[in-house]
Amino acid sequence: MSSTQHAYAYLSRVAEPPNPAVARLVAEVGAVEAAAAIRRRVAPPGHQEALDATETTYEIDLAVQDLATVEACGGRLVTPEDAEWPAWTLHALNTASTSARGGAPLALWVRGPARLDELTERSIALVGSRAASSYGSHVTSTLAGELGQSGWAVVSGGAYGIDACAHRAALAMGASTVAVLACGIDRDYPVAHARLLAQIAGTGAVISEYPPGISAAKHRFLTRNRLVAALSRAVVVVEAGRRSGAANTAAWARRIGVPLGAVPGPITSAVSVGCHQMISEGQACLVADSAAAQRLAAPDGLTLFDSVDTAATRASTDDGTPSSGTGAHDDPVLTCLPGRGGVSVSDVANSAGLPVADVRARLALLEVAGSVVRGPDGWRRARTGG
């Protein structure tokens, strides 16, 4: 177990999310130093809030046990230092308007073989009422099945009703599906979904930002909802009341710029009131089939990875030399990287004058485009030509 893994596991336990004060400390000094500062109760200048936020929890160091517990149930801790960390999808949570209400998670506990970066490359969230109608269940199963057939991962919350229908339909098609929990990944919540969660973890991923052993609670569901939105290319609400968990997820999607769709239902249905309101007020696009959901997620027929590849191609001339226009080669992060050796994320952030979180997100995109490489010494520009 690396010191970095231990630090993130410790922080995950002592900093109940959302915890912007601790997140800011980690962004500035890194997880290892942040964990040490919280344990010692000595924070760098300007970070007293991180100590205040962990006043009652800092002595709870269960990192070794938590990592062992998760490993025993087939899970792992994924951190921003890992190659599979979906930086480009979670980055939107760190904007000024959202970070105070729930920024990007410090780390994610994951049960299942699928890589997070690959799952979130083509993912659509289907969310809705726990008290799903037969109409809602039918529509969800159809949408999830067709999305799965088309190569999309289906994201939802593992709850009764619409969530369960979405997961089951994706599994039936042999597609990947992701359950984002409001409790530890070692907990089966709801208990009746133990088998379903095990099936999801068999091919896809069960995800939580909460350490093992943490129980579900109302405020944790609301905190969890931002991750459902952030880990998806689009969010589609099938059934929802005016005030509901699904409506909360929809609000997060709008807040962070994730395309939002809603399925219309019978005008007499109480569980479709929220969907009708979103559509009538122009907050969500009307979704009547899986093709509409896919257009929301990839309006030009391209996923984010396709778009990055296209951008990188456009940034070069036909003979492979950098173009004079803007593109990957003009990225301020790329210009700060050496051609040999490597530098840390913090070094790049200092050189570029950008926040660490921004640099991580940019590096992830540049890596996908083939413009940068992460080696044992850190990040460097990718070699071109022979």
Which CATH code for domain 304-381? 1.10.10
Give the pLDDT of the chain (386 residues) as one tens digit per residue.
Answer: 589 999 999 999 999 998 999 999 999 999 999 999 999 999 999 999 999 999 999 999 999 999 999 999 999 999 999 999 998 889 888 875 666 677 899 999 999 999 999 999 999 999 999 999 999 999 999 999 999 999 999 999 999 999 999 999 999 999 999 999 999 999 999 999 999 999 999 999 999 999 999 999 999 999 999 999 999 999 999 999 988 999 999 999 999 989 999 999 999 999 999 999 999 999 999 999 999 999 999 865 555 444 444 444 433 333 333 333 334 456 788 889 998 888 877 678 778 877 655 676 678 778 878 889 877 677 889 886 54
How confident is the model over 318-351, as pLDDT tens digits? 333 333 333 445 678 888 999 888 887 767 877 8
Handedness of CA 46, 48, 53, 58 (dihedral sign): positive
Domain ranges within the chain, ordered by starting residue = 111-297, 304-381
Element (H, E) at 154: strand 153-156
The answer to whether the CB of 197 falls within 8 A of the CB of 188 is: yes
Helix residue ranges, H only, 103-238: 116-119, 134-149, 162-172, 194-203, 218-230
How confident is the model over 46-76, as pLDDT tens digits? 999 999 999 999 999 999 999 999 999 999 9
Structure-token match 């369960």, residue found: 164
pLDDT, residue 378, reads 78
CATH fit for domain 111-297, picks 3.30.360.10, 3.40.50.450, 1.10.10.10, 3.30.1240.10: 3.40.50.450
322 upstream amide cis, omega within 30 of 0: no
The answer to whether the CB of 117 falls within 8 A of the CB of 86 is: yes
| DSSP, res 322 | B
